[in-house]
Chains A and B, each alone.
Chain A
Amino acid sequence: KNEVEQSPQNLTAQEGEFITINCSYSVGISALHWLQQHPGGGIVSLFMLSSGKKKHGRLIATINIQEKHSSLHITASHPRDSAVYICAVLNSGTYKYIFGTGTRLKVLA
């Protein structure tokens, strides 16, 4: 079992839909990082979380430390949100980064 698991692996949505991508982890962490990788390959850092919730535009990230779970929400999704979303955690014991395998999102117009 992977230490960081994302679900779903693939997601297709219609423009305007509310989207949720989940990340579960099995280790103690210092922080959790959400990344976005566009079809062209470029990577953008979306959020770095250690507790609670953060919001940036239409993106909201939450984390529940007790349940070892984080969600990334996209409101009013748009085709330009189509990308791979990657969750990464910083293991608080080893201080090493562990990456999820990513969720491939496609938003249709």
Chain B
Amino acid sequence: DAGVIQSPRHEVTEMGQEVTLRCKPISGHDYLFWYRQTMMRGLELLIYFNNNVPIDDSGMPEDRFSAKMPNASFSTLKIQPSEPRDSAVYFCASSFGQLSNYGYTFGSGTRLTVV
């Protein structure tokens, strides 16, 4: 398995534009997590899904952020409109079970810069 695949690796966009981040979890994993990491706030959990259903989105900062998981092999995190304070590294992770003994597998992250 190629692991958790995120795209793009880097994204630079202008303020006000829509940004879509993509994630392909490991086949067979039933949990998918979206995280954001900034220097100021560290690592934060934005939202997670179980069997494609959003379970907890309380970490989503505001209505400009939305996430979907239309099927077991694909998820998107969308920011519309984007703002400079959204600049961060966004990680996706997947696991088999929420408390899996094997932990989670993280993607390489998407570095987003909003100018």
> Which residues of A does B touch, CB under 8 Å?
30-31, 33, 35, 41-48, 50, 86, 88, 90, 95-97, 99, 101-102
**Is A33's CB under 8 angstroms from B103's CB?**
yes
**Which parts of B21-69 form the interface with A (CB within 8 Å)?**
42-45, 56, 58-59
Q: How large is the interface on B (under 10, 10 to 19, 20 to 34, 35 or more residues)?
A: 20 to 34
Q: How far is the CA of A88 from the CA of B45 in the complex (A)?
A: 10
Judge if B108 is at the interface, Cβ distance under 8 Å: yes
Which residues from A are CB-within-8-Å of B89? 41
Contact of B58 among A48, A50, A96 (CB under 8 A): A96
Q: How far is the CA of A41 from the CA of B37 in the complex (A)?
A: 10
Instruction: Decide yes or no: A30 and B42 within 8 Å by CB, A42-B108, A44-B106 being known contacts.
Output: no
Nearest residue, chain A, Cβ from B58: A96
**Is B103's CB under 8 angstroms from A45's CB?**
yes
**Is B42's CB under 8 angstroms from A43's CB?**
no
Nearest residue, chain B, Cβ from A99: B43
**Least Cβ distance of B1 to chain A in Å?**
15
Q: Mark B71-89, 1 if CB is under 8 A from A, else 0.
A: 0000000000000000001
Contact of A96 among B56, B99, B106, B108 (CB under 8 A): B56
**Is B106's CB under 8 angstroms from A42's CB?**
yes
Which residues from B are CB-within-8-Å of A30? 99
Instruction: Decide yes or no: A48 and B100 within 8 Å by CB, A42-B106, A96-B58 being known contacts.
Output: yes
**Least Cβ distance of B54 to chain A in Å?**
13
Contact of B103 among A47, A90, A101 (CB under 8 A): A47
Instruction: Decide yes or no: A95 and B56 within 8 Å by CB, A43-B91, A48-B99, A102-B42 being known contacts.
Output: yes
Q: How far is the CA of A89 from the CA of B44 in the complex (A)?
A: 12
Nearest residue, chain A, Cβ from B35: A43
Which residues from A are CB-within-8-Å of B45? 96-97, 99
Nearest residue, chain B, Cβ from A101: B42
